[in-house]
Structure 1
Amino acid sequence: MLDDVDRAIVEVLRTNARTPVSEIARRVGLSAAPVSRRIERLERNGVIKGYVAVVDDQAVGGLDAFTEVRLIGSVDTAEIEKIARDIPEVRQFFTIAGDPDAMLRFRVENVDHLQRVVNAIRRSGKVSGTKTLIVMNSWDRAAENVAGEA
């Protein structure tokens, strides 16, 4: 169970995972040692699953896309998740209520590359249909927060 201090620590780290423990301690009103112990406990308990770099995808190149996936009959969503995990271009997998059954987020080099990835999903034999949306522009709160901290 998380208390208010744990939630405050998580929120600081969610905004910028590189915030020094001394700064987190100042923000939550504790000294550095108990904050370090709390962070270690949050990591051990799986509340904090890891730390990532927020990358400006526009600077790197390529494009993002989302594909809605409709499954055949009574296919378990775990089956499509396994297929998604086996495709390196898949960044995220979501099961969702309603229609469609799942949503995949991809990062690909170009439209031809995207077509190959979507075709791989379709060939799985578990998919009755897809609908792909290409991201034209995006905004990311985490990236904005990190840029504001720099």
Structure 2
Amino acid sequence: MRLNDLDERIVHALAEDARRSYADIGAMIGLSAPAVKRRVDRLRAEGAITGFTVRVDPAALGWETEGFIEIYCSRNTSPEAIKRGLARYPEIASASTVTGEADAIVQVFAADMRHFEQVLERIAGEPYVERTKSVLVLSPLLRRYAAGPPDGSDPEPSEAAAPR
């Protein structure tokens, strides 16, 4: 489904702050609170909005180390097999198949370097993994939690885009 302009503006407002009231969103985009609620309900029913969540700084949970691991798999390993194998790791924040030499890349948060190394070793030991390549994050420079502003202009600095 493709979002129209009003729906896109609602989604961006919710992505910025999912606790924002329908009245507040309505005031921002020129709709009544009930009209915003109806649109949000429709967007949820159609699957455009898949849920609401909270963003937590991983460091607040004790996850001080961040890194990315490229995974190189044996032939004929399906994306579903990779997904099933990686789903067991609570340290993995995201996993995606990618273009290029690697088959997948995962974002890992760990308590410290030793913990990251343990996760890396466990992933490398999966039966479908031939080799891995990892990099550690020194300083996150920019994090976005939405596709950008609805009007296409440059976003203003916000806590969501600020480094940790």
Residues paired across the two proteins, number: 148
- Measured after TM superposition, the shift of residue 141 of structure 1 is 3.3
Aligned to 1:56: 57
The CA distance in 1 between the partners of 2:160 and 2:143, in whole Å, is 10
Aligned to 2:28: 27
- Measured after TM superposition, the shift of residue 55 of structure 1 is 2.1
Q: Percent identity?
A: 29
Aligned to 1:14: 15
Aligned to 1:116: 118
- Measured after TM superposition, the shift of residue 145 of structure 1 is 4.1
The CA distance in 2 between the partners of 1:106 and 1:147, in whole Å, is 19
Normalising to structure 2: TM-score of the pair? 0.82
**Residue type matched to 1:119 in 2?**
E
Q: Which structure has more helix as a fraction of its residues?
A: 1
**Residue type matched to 1:65 in 2?**
G
- Range with bigger deviation, 135-144 or 59-68: 135-144
Aligned to 1:72: 74
Query: Alignment RMSD, CA only?
Result: 2.0
Q: Which runs of 5+ in 2 are unaligned?
A: 146-156
- Range with bigger deviation, 135-144 or 106-115: 135-144
Name which of 84, 92, 95 aligns with 2:94.
92
The CA distance in 2 between the partners of 1:60 and 1:124, in whole Å, is 27
Normalising to structure 1: TM-score of the pair? 0.88
Name which of 140, 143, 147 aligns with 1:140.
143
- Measured after TM superposition, the shift of residue 136 of structure 1 is 1.0
Q: Which runs of 5+ in 1 are unaligned?
A: none
